[in-house]
Chain A
Amino acid sequence: MNDQISPIVELRDISKRFPGVLALDNVSMNVLPGEIHAVVGENGAGKSTLMNILAGELQPDSGDIVFQGNRCAIPNPYVSQQMGISVVYQELALCPNLSIAENVSLSSASTSNALSFVKRRRFAVKAREVLSQLGITDIDPNRPISKLTVAEQQLVEIAKAISGQVKLLILDEPNSALTREETDNLFAILRQLRDSGVGMIYVSHRLEEALSLCDRITVLRDGKWIDTVAAANVTVDDLIAMMVGRAVDDLYQRATDATTHTQTIFELHDLRSGNALKGMSFALKAGEILGVAGLPGAGKDELVECCFGLRSYTGKIDIQGNAVSIHSPSEAIQLGLAFIPADRRASGALLVMDVKGNIVAANLPSVSKYGLMKQPAIRATSQKYVKELDIRIASLSQKMGTLSGGNQQKVILARGLATNPSVLILHEPTRGIDVGAKAEIYRILQDLAAEGVGVLIVSSELPELIGQCDRILVMHDGRITGQFTRDEAAEEPILACAMGQTTHF
């Protein structure tokens, strides 16, 4: 590190206590101009608290913030922005009803006189300027946000963040919803920004990316600063060890041997649905973990929706050799299917309900009699899965919304398992989940397969599929363009199939 360059921001011994939790415990770090500084740690390590202090959303209990050599307080987000700190949050904070240009100028709209005229033309000029600074010239700034892809929206978010005089840019999981190609594009833009002297803090769960993108990496665990290291000097395994405080077995390796799977348990014949699915046929065997890969728009979402009765289809579905038709999730559940949806907050968790309610929600007949809920049965069922899946909660009555992402996902998994499924369908099972919980979920899936459950994982994370699955199907444009056994599976040929360049069977 270049010690003579003075940092943009320096945090000294920052502590922050919430009722019952010490979220930050004497954490110190700094960010230099022209540096991308990654902050990694499991959920609950204190990353968001740290970011929120810099953004002016939270005030530290003790410690100093030194910005460009001056000790200062950041009492609110407005001041933070005035200082030149911009934050790009994981959940996009754009107004979908407004255009790109209007969104980019939103912060200026917050500072100028409420009765002054909106200068749309100037907005457009400004937006084009900022976008071209990011190397984007082919987007019309007057398009409404709602018409953009997630990746484009992410770029607009960054454009919005750098539209003022930004000195420090904070990115909180900016690429969690992006494809590899889009991510590469984003990183190119971030490097360009770095070269122009902007300091960046990059928060992510994707450690490989943090290593390739960032200059230095700070690791937090349980609110404590563990270490700040140069990216060039560490490996993913080193980071994981620092994050969890112990060495973790290689995440992406299936522990058990692929046994021979004989009994077909779930089979699709020429499944079609609108323009999205153009004839899908495959068979899932008992005890097998089958992965489905594909780029966004390939039809993966539609495939899981058809399988679980959320979307109408033509074609045939066999379950354990019997032809069935699935019109609704309740039918699917009765037929022995369980589904873990991708969008955990919207479609998975019942956030205002408690944990036990979430666990039994799909399995009401077994915990009720004459329409009355049997509280002891509910507690027993919940208790069983909390223990089996090692869900960390204070009590069964804890509200789902207060759990971490990983624990929420385990609760949703428990809900599926409580129905005793013969087929488990998972859609993006580990999105936004920290590394420890990820490993535990993989272990659970392996155990289930060993017990003879057929597991179908639909995911856009290739390492996950390659590490976990016995077999991987690749989708492109509503069709299967490739099938890889465990030994054949590798990122490059799978991507080639996913992009429709080749086929592999």
Chain B
Amino acid sequence: MTQQTSAVSYDKQRQTVTARLKKILLARETGVFVALILMCLFLWQATDAFLTVHNLLNVGRQISLLGIMAIGMTYVLIAREVDLSVGSIYALAGLIAGMLIVAQWNLWLAIVVGLMVGMGAGFANGALSTYGMLPSFITTLGMMSVARGAALVITNGRPVTINETAGADPKALETFYFLGQGYVFEKIPMQLVFFIAVAIIGTILLSRTVFGFRVYAVGGSDKAARVSGIKVFNTKIWTFVIMGFLSALAGILSLAFLPSGQAGRTGVGLELDVIAAAIVGGASLGGGEGTILGTILGVLIIGVLRNGLVLMHVSPFWQEIAIGAVIILAVGIDKWTNVRRRT
């Protein structure tokens, strides 16, 4: 009896090792990762400037805000929804926080208000897309316009600059600038630190918690999730709130970095970059699929590509073509070579 059990468990173990290896090889992330490595190798050969610490940290910083938002988008996409309003929420929340800092509010209070604005907009998106029974494509398309308009109204179209001349408190300013422009260990930009922190928390929340499980279940089949006793609407609303929060966080960090923003330009067109990054990383518009790791790789691909094209002196108009082609290829290669779907 015992002998038999051990034989079985040995067999199982061997099976799981091969199964695991197979799983890793077949995982969507692997394909994206290989593509990324190939791209880096190519750029390393083709340019002198690419593989330098300075440049790599630059790329890290340049993708951070996109990455923070793409992580939020991963949640929304897994729950089989979409959020087009992220660029506008990014602008609105950032500009509100900025204006409050200029108005000499307490720094942290101003930031919290900015984050609350983002979460509020996200909640509105979520509530309308669930209890309001509207498709999220429509609600967030509307919110995209409403939030952009609100930002223009409150700033009156003028750029918001956060500095002493504008009236901000120098002490608060120092801290605020540190959040956006500072470095830890002399070299690592704070934006990248925020991105890494959000990535870690986002991964744990999605893959280890009950909430994360519910998000996958809801995206897989909202009927089946509902029958399993999962509160579908609440889960979906939470994904929008997270998205709103992260959009606002990125918007505030953006203002702390530059340190000025303008309601007509800040975050315009960002939503498509954010969705593209998540999709390249394996999230599916059909819901139920996607991981934070995949999204990070997707963000890296887009960031490295942008950086590399400039380093290689590719004309700006050709850059647009290259980025579009890579998005289609990245998703296409996965679909065309997908072995998993057939078995």
Residues of A at the B interface (CB closer than 8 Å) are 18-20, 308, 310, 328-330, 332-334, 339, 341, 343, 346-353, 357, 361-362, 364, 368, 371-373, 394-395, 397, 399, 402, 415
Contacts and interface: CB of A to CB of B under 8 A. Distances in A.
Nearest to B16: A395
Q: B208, B210, B227 — which one has the most chain A CB atoms within 10 A of its CB? A: B227
A347 B19 contact: no
Choose among A349, A372, A402 the residue with the greatest number of B CB atoms under 10 Å from its CB.
A372
B227 A329 contact: yes
A376 B216 CA distance: 19
Given A350-B220, A352-B289, 20 more contacts: A18-B343, A19-B339, A310-B227, A329-B227, A330-B231, A346-B221, A350-B216, A350-B221, A350-B288, A352-B220, A352-B288, A353-B216, A357-B217, A361-B228, A371-B209, A372-B208, A372-B210, A394-B19, A397-B19, A399-B340
Contacts of A310: 226-227
A357 B227 contact: no
A20 B22 CA distance: 13
Interface string B1-34: 0000000000000011001000100000000000
Contacts of A343: 223
A357 B207 CA distance: 12
Contact of A362 (B19, B228, B339, B343): B228
Contacts of A371: 209-211
A245 B226 CA distance: 40
Nearest to A395: B19
B146 interface: no
Chain B binding surface SS class: helix
A330 B229 contact: yes
A12 to B, nearest CB: 26
B116 interface: no
Given A20-B343, A329-B226, A364 B221 contact: no
A327 to B, nearest CB: 12
A348 B16 contact: no
Interface in B193-233: 208-214, 216-217, 219-221, 223-231
A372 B217 contact: no
Given A346-B221, A394-B19, A357 B213 contact: yes
Contacts of A18: 342-343
B254 to A, nearest CB: 31
A308 B289 contact: no
B223 A346 contact: yes
Given A20-B343, A364-B210, A372-B209, A346 B224 contact: yes
Interface of B: 15-16, 19, 23, 208-214, 216-217, 219-221, 223-231, 287-289, 339-340, 342-343
B220 A308 contact: no
9 contacts: A310-B226, A310-B227, A330-B230, A341-B227, A349-B224, A350-B221, A353-B217, A357-B216, A372-B210
A349 B288 CA distance: 12
A371 B23 CA distance: 27
Contact of A347 (B219, B221, B340): B221
B343 A347 contact: no
A351 B231 contact: no
Contact of A361 (B16, B217, B287, B339): B217
Nearest to B216: A353
A308 B224 CA distance: 13
A98 B247 CA distance: 42
A350 B220 CA distance: 5
Nearest to A419: B229
A368 B210 CA distance: 7
A378 B127 CA distance: 32
Contacts of B214: 364
Given A333-B229, A361-B228, A351 B208 contact: no
Q: Give the top 3 A-B pairs by smallest Cβ distance, nearest first.
A: A330-B229, A352-B288, A347-B223
Given A19-B339, A394-B19, A395-B19, A373 B224 contact: no
A503 to B, nearest CB: 33
B220 A347 contact: no
Contacts of B210: 364, 368, 371-373
Contacts of B209: 368, 371-373
Nearest to B23: A397
B223 A353 contact: no
B208 A373 contact: yes
Contact of A351 (B15, B211, B213, B220): B220
A359 B258 CA distance: 50
A329 B233 CA distance: 13
A332 B229 contact: yes
Contacts of A332: 229
A348 B339 contact: no
B299 to A, nearest CB: 23
Contacts of B213: 357, 361, 364, 373
Nearest to A331: B229
Nearest to A348: B224
Nearest to A399: B340
Contact of B227 (A308, A352, A368): A308
